[in-house]
């Protein structure tokens, strides 16, 4: 029977999207794929239970040069078990193999009555806030000893410090052009919270606000004024959440708010865009939870400056090593962009039982040790989905064509196991599984940026350490919301990200009762 109207194309598009969704879910390796060998574990692209493929790949390990292989090849597993992983496999009765299981999610079970403040204080507890109070008061006293007494100043209290943070965080929800707009009579005024603290008092706290008041003889790093807070925040990330096996190294999207761009002069806009640091993260690709933060300062025009960081892949390699310093021995799969991807880095990570899949660029990547023939486009025209592969041991270099040549370096996925990229108009485009996995996990991070980057605090101070502080506070709140969505409290009251931020602001300002009975 002929279908009328646009029902046929629409059903086809929906079926393609459903197929893409199911394939993406199958790539969430960390969730339910591991288990005893059988139907559940046979589709795992990271392991092989085939003795034939094991012996075949062992021969490749002895070769000094990358051996060529043409695709597309037969579906199935052609990957050997990496030595680091094979050592952890345990034999159970009946010959079945048991693989280590990744337990994804929060490490602590929060009660259904947990408030937004409870989740926020998993990363910024009261002892950290009390330290801010002590350091701010110390700095105010020292400042006045040097420049004269300030009769309008009184020591800040813990309640005032929470309210101060609440006002700053409110700019991430309402995106006002200045935090001082809260007390104005304009469009961005907020009378409901303006009564908690007067504008002059807020400005005094903002003037003297500090995390570390004075430099000690042991502190030589440019981030000494915020390093204790970053260390405490990292401890909170590590102790409250277990990430999935698949993670991504990248720079989160930190754009100027359109309100700022519309109100700034051209000179002010140029000044605002010149940040003196670069912020990198290691992020769980299954949930979006940011597991680790690394801040690289522009401390001058030397080899370690930000300008050099943009042009020298070896400095990006340093960033990657810093982000993965706590990932050794955990069999993580790390996805990387062109500036980080390199053969030397991936081989070093493999020795630490960290496996990688990265996009490669002959212009941005460190291509040392890679065959030049794979870095140049072939003279003969190619069809979409066609690819070439070269292998050495566990490492595979893939050159895949889809309206352009894309190159991938991986030691985490079988080069002969096939996947597909599903397009709404083009349908299925064949590719190696590593390409499909890379596209799936990176697209999730793009969705995270689209959803959460607009909730970064809008306040843009001149001091670099304060810029870093407000960015990391924003990341902590996003992480708190992710934990909230994974808790029982979310099933009691389903708040959106904006509603969660509003609740947190009111609780910091003391406008909401956060007791368990509430």
For the cut 60, the answer to whether the pLDDT of residue 131 exceeds it is yes
| β-pair type (333-336, 355-360) | parallel
Residues in the chain, overall count = 518
Per-residue confidence (pLDDT) for residue 206, from 0 to 100: 94
Q: What percent of the chain has pLDDT over 70?
A: 70
* More reliable by pLDDT, 4 or 510: 510
For the cut 90, the answer to whether the pLDDT of residue 297 exceeds it is no
The CA distance from 397 to 409, in Å, is 5
Q: Is 64:436 a contact under the CB 8 Å cutoff?
A: no
Return phi, psi of residue 45, to 5°: -70, -10
pLDDT in tens, 328-380: 989 999 999 888 999 999 999 999 999 999 999 888 888 888 988 888 888 78
Region of poorest pLDDT, from 59-73, 185-199, 287-301, 489-503: 59-73
Q: What percent of the chain has pLDDT over 90?
A: 41
| β-pair type (241-242, 105-106) | antiparallel
Per-residue confidence (pLDDT) for residue 232, from 0 to 100: 95
The CA distance from 301 to 304, in Å, is 8
* More reliable by pLDDT, 443 or 265: 443
Q: Is 271:16 a contact under the CB 8 Å cutoff?
A: no
3-state secondary structure 404-453: CEEEEEECCCCCCCEEEEEECCCEEEEEEHHHHHHHHHHHHHHHHHHHHH
Indicate the pTM of the whole model: 0.77
Per-residue confidence (pLDDT) for residue 265, from 0 to 100: 58
The CA distance from 486 to 106, in Å, is 8
Region of poorest pLDDT, from 49-58, 167-176, 286-295: 49-58
Return phi, psi of residue 446, to 5°: -60, -40
pLDDT in tens, 431-462: 999 999 998 887 777 778 778 888 888 888 88
In the block, tokens 């910091």 appear at: 508
The CA distance from 265 to 106, in Å, is 45
Per-residue confidence (pLDDT) for residue 266, from 0 to 100: 58
For the cut 90, the answer to whether the pLDDT of residue 32 exceeds it is no
């Amino acid at each position: 029977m002929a279908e009328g109207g646009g029902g046929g194309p629409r059903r086809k598009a929906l079926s393609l999207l459903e197929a893409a969704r199911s394939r993406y879910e199958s790539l969430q390796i960390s969730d339910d794929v591991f288990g005893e060998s059988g139907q559940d574990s046979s589709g795992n692209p990271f392991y092989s239970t085939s003795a034939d493929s094991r012996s075949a790949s062992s021969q490749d390990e002895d070769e000094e040069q990358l051996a060529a292989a043409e695709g597309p090849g037969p579906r199935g597993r052609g990957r050997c078990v990496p030595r680091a992983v094979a050592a952890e496999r345990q034999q159970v009765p009946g010959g079945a193999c048991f693989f280590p299981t990744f337990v994804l999610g929060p490490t602590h079970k929060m009660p259904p009555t947990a408030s937004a403040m409870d989740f926020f204080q998993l990363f910024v507890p009261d002892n950290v806030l009390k330290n801010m109070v002590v350091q701010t008061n110390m700095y105010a006293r020292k400042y006045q000893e040097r420049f004269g007494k300030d009769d309008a100043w009184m020591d800040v209290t813990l309640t005032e410090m929470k309210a101060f943070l609440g006002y700053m965080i409110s700019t991430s929800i309402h995106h006002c052009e200045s935090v001082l707009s809260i007390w104005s009579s304009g469009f961005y005024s907020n009378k409901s919270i303006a009564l908690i603290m007067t504008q002059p008092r807020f400005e005094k706290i903002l003037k003297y606000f500090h995390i570390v008041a004075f430099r000690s003889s042991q502190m030589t790093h440019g981030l000494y004024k915020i390093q204790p807070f970053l260390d405490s925040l990292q401890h909170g990330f590590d102790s409250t959440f277990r990430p999935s096996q698949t993670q991504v190294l990248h720079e989160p999207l930190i754009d100027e708010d359109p309100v700022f761009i519309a109100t700034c002069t051209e000179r002010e806009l140029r000044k605002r865009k010149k940040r003196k640091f670069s912020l990198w993260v290691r992020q769980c690709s299954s949930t979006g939870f940011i597991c680790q933060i690394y801040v690289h300062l522009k401390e001058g025009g030397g080899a370690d400056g930000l300008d050099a960081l943009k042009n020298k892949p070896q400095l990006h390699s340093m960033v990657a090593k810093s982000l993965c310093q706590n990932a050794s021995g955990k069999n993580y799969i790390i996805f990387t962009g062109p500036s980080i991807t390199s053969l030397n880095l991936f081989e070093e990570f493999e020795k630490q039982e960290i496996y990688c899949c990265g996009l490669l660029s002959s212009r941005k990547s460190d291509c040392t040790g890679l065959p030049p023939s794979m870095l140049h486009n072939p003279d003969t025209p190619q069809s979409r989905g066609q690819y070439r592969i070269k292998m050495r041991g566990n490492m595979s270099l893939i050159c895949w064509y889809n309206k352009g040549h894309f190159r991938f370096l991986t030691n985490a996925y079988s080069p002969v196991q096939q996947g597909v990229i599903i397009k709404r108009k083009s349908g299925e485009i064949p590719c190696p599984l590593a390409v499909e996995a890379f596209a799936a996990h990176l697209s999730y991070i793009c969705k995270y940026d689209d959803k959460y980057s607009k909730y970064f605090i809008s306040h843009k101070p001149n001091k670099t350490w304060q810029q870093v502080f407000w960015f990391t506070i924003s990341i902590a709140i996003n992480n708190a919301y992710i934990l909230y969505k994974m808790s029982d409290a979310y099933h009691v009251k389903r708040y959106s990200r904006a509603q969660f931020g509003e609740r947190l602001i009111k609780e910091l300002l003391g406008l909401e009762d956060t007791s368990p009975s509430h």
